[in-house]
Amino acid sequence: MTNIETIDVMLSIAGEQYFQGVDPDQTRLMTPGTMTMQGEKVTLTYEETELTGMEGTTTTFEVDGDVITLTRAGAVNSQMVFQEGVQHTSLYETPFGDLAVDIQTSHLRYRLNQHGGTMDIQYSIAVDHTVTGRNRFEIKVKRK
């Protein structure tokens, strides 16, 4: 049986969105969260705030081998699967209805252990097979 270890962490999250013809949109967030380690699988969880516009939503990054799954549950519900070089179709809930989006991950790197670490994901989003923007998450994890 694999040991499960949950650690209180501080997450420093930088997000960038690039849309053609528009200046990049950047967000930065420092927030407390938890990191759960079970064998090779690592899960980062935190609560969204008013700053991100998703207050009342729990965000989880599940790292398992070469796949990272981002799940949001609560006021906003969505799931996005990131795997370098592989396109995944994800469901994104909006107030106007559900939207199927294609996620194409161009870069996925992480180094996480019981002391913290980093995660870097670069991807593009396509709606109806038309790329609407390029995005990047850079997350730094520090043990509290």
Q: How far apart are CA 41 and CA 37, in angstroms?
A: 6
- pLDDT over 70 for what percent of the chain? 97
Q: How far apart are CA 79 and CA 71, in angstroms?
A: 4
pLDDT higher than 80, residue 95: no
Strands (E), 39-115: 41-47, 57-64, 67-74, 78-82, 87-94, 97-113
pLDDT higher than 60, residue 73: yes
Question: For 24-42, how does the pLDDT look when each residue is reduced to its tens digit (9 = 90+)?
Answer: 788 888 999 999 999 889 9
Looking at residue 90, its pLDDT comes to 87
Question: For 1-25, how does the pLDDT look when each residue is reduced to its tens digit (9 = 90+)?
Answer: 568 999 999 999 998 888 777 777 8
CATH superfamily, domain 4-143, is Calycin beta-barrel core domain (2.40.128.20)
Looking at residue 1, its pLDDT comes to 54
Burial level of 144, CB count in 10 A (0-12/13-18/19+)? exposed
* Tokens at 67, concatenated: 């796949």
Lowest mean pLDDT among 15-24, 44-53, 131-140: 15-24
Mean pLDDT of the chain: 90
Of 133 and 23, more confident: 133
**Whole-angstrom distance between the N-terminal and C-terminal Cα of the chain?**
27
pLDDT higher than 90, residue 53: no
Burial level of 14, CB count in 10 A (0-12/13-18/19+)? middle
> Nearest to residue 115, comparing CAs of 2, 4, 8?
8
pLDDT higher than 90, residue 58: yes
Q: What residues does 139 pair with on adjacent strands?
A: 13, 119
